[in-house]
């Protein structure tokens, strides 16, 4: 783990040097992609160390990338960064970096921004993954406030996925939405299809 962390630090230093070589006024898209990469590296470092500073550094880098992608109207790139911000703000909440409710709300808003792009048919799997993430965040919010309302939102999202995708035709899609609902909990299951295990997306899982 230490070896991986040191490798990440070296990559961060390289990205920082790239930003000096390609500032925003010289090469805005290069600057934005480097900031996004830098955000990914800070995020990975933070997951190893559970370090609040690196989570904040990741958010700052994603924010810089987003400003450029927005000004350049790069809709797919915007969606990708917004998805990462959704994951990141959920991490903020999980690690008590600031207000849990506010960070879960920011997470939902970021995922919804990504979803506004992923609603197109060509992004079907990304749309399902994003909807699942939003549902899982609502599940966490429900544990803190407005239980019935927020569990209802989560169930509705997973239900939309189940209604749209047939299990036999789309096992990878369908697995994102398998739910087991009882009066006190909403749980996303793991589905096994043809011997292959499809794990659901979780708040702390891979993006």
Higher pLDDT, 95 or 186: 95
pLDDT at 190 over 90: no
pLDDT at 121 over 60: yes
DSSP character string of 104-150: HHHHHHHHHHHHHHHTSGGGHHHHHHHHHHHHHHHHHHHTTS-HHHH
pLDDT at 12 over 80: yes
Q: What is the mean pLDDT of the chain?
A: 81
Taking each helix axis from N to C terminus, what angle separates 124-142 and 147-164, rounded to the nearest 10 degrees? 160
> Quick check: pTM over 0.75?
yes
For residues 136-153, average pLDDT: 88
Q: pLDDT at position 194, please?
A: 40
């Amino acid at each position: 783990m230490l070896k991986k962390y040191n490798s990440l630090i070296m990559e961060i230093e390289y990205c920082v040097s790239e930003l000096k070589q390609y500032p925003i006024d010289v090469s805005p898209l290069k600057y934005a992609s480097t900031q996004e990469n830098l955000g990914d590296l800070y995020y990975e470092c933070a997951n190893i160390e559970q370090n609040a500073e690196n989570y904040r550094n990741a958010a700052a880098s994603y924010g810089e990338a987003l400003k450029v992608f927005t000004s350049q109207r790069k809709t797919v790139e915007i969606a990708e960064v917004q998805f990462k911000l959704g994951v990141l703000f959920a991490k903020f909440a999980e690690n008590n970096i600031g207000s849990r409710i506010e960070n879960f709300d920011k997470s939902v808003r970021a995922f919804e921004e990504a979803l506004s792009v992923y609603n197109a048919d060509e992004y079907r799997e990304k749309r399902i993954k994003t909807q699942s993430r939003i549902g899982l965040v609502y599940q966490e919010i429900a544990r803190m406030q407005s239980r019935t309302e927020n569990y209802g939102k989560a169930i509705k999202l997973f239900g939309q996925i189940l209604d749209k995708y047939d299990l036999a035709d789309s096992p990878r899609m369908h697995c994102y939405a398998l739910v087991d609902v009882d009066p006190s909990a909403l749980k996303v299951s793991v589905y096994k299809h043809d011997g292959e295990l499809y794990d659901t997306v979780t708040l702390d899982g891979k993006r």
